[in-house]
Homo-oligomer: A and B are copies of this chain.
Amino acid sequence: MMETIEQFLESKKIRVTAMRLLIYKFLAERQVAVTLSDIENTFEKADRTTLYRTIKTFEDKAIVHQIDDGTGITKYALCEQGCNCEIETDLHLHFHCNNCNQTICLTEHKIPQIKVPDGFVSENINLVVKGICDKCSGQ
């Protein structure tokens, strides 16, 4: 029934390595989007490049999606099951807290239909809401 991480990675044609398992687990246990530096700080023994390329592999195989929250630093989060990143970046919205600087996937909150002028073709939408998160608003 419940497939292991190893099985999951293999199903996505990603070879299982110690590094990849560690990084996958790290992403899975965090609720917020992470930067490459976050990962670097967590796995100090590993080389930057390896971490970088691991995330890139995950992205290519569509189990991680990239988030541009406007801080200038790319963040990453595991895709939901059934997410269609390969086709278009998934259309849930992201929330960036101006206080704790964390970015959260609001996977339940889909992006509404956006009208564009005649002649423009919309393929993809990035929507980031900035403000104060639930933890920081003391609520």
Contact = CB atoms under 8 A, between A and B. Distances in A.
A93 interface: yes
Nearest to A126: B128
Contacts of A59: none
Given A70-B68, A112-B112, A124 B117 contact: no
Interface residues of A, number: 35
A106 B112 contact: no
Interface of A: 68, 70, 72, 74, 93, 95, 98, 106, 108-109, 112, 114-135, 137, 139
Contacts of A137: 119-121
Given A117-B109, A119-B134, A127 B127 contact: yes
Contact of A106 (B109, B116, B123): B116
29 contacts: A68-B68, A72-B72, A95-B116, A98-B123, A106-B117, A108-B117, A109-B116, A114-B127, A117-B134, A119-B133, A119-B134, A119-B135, A119-B139, A120-B129, A120-B131, A120-B132, A120-B134, A120-B137, A121-B131, A121-B137, A122-B129, A122-B130, A124-B130, A124-B131, A125-B128, A125-B129, A125-B130, A126-B128, A127-B128
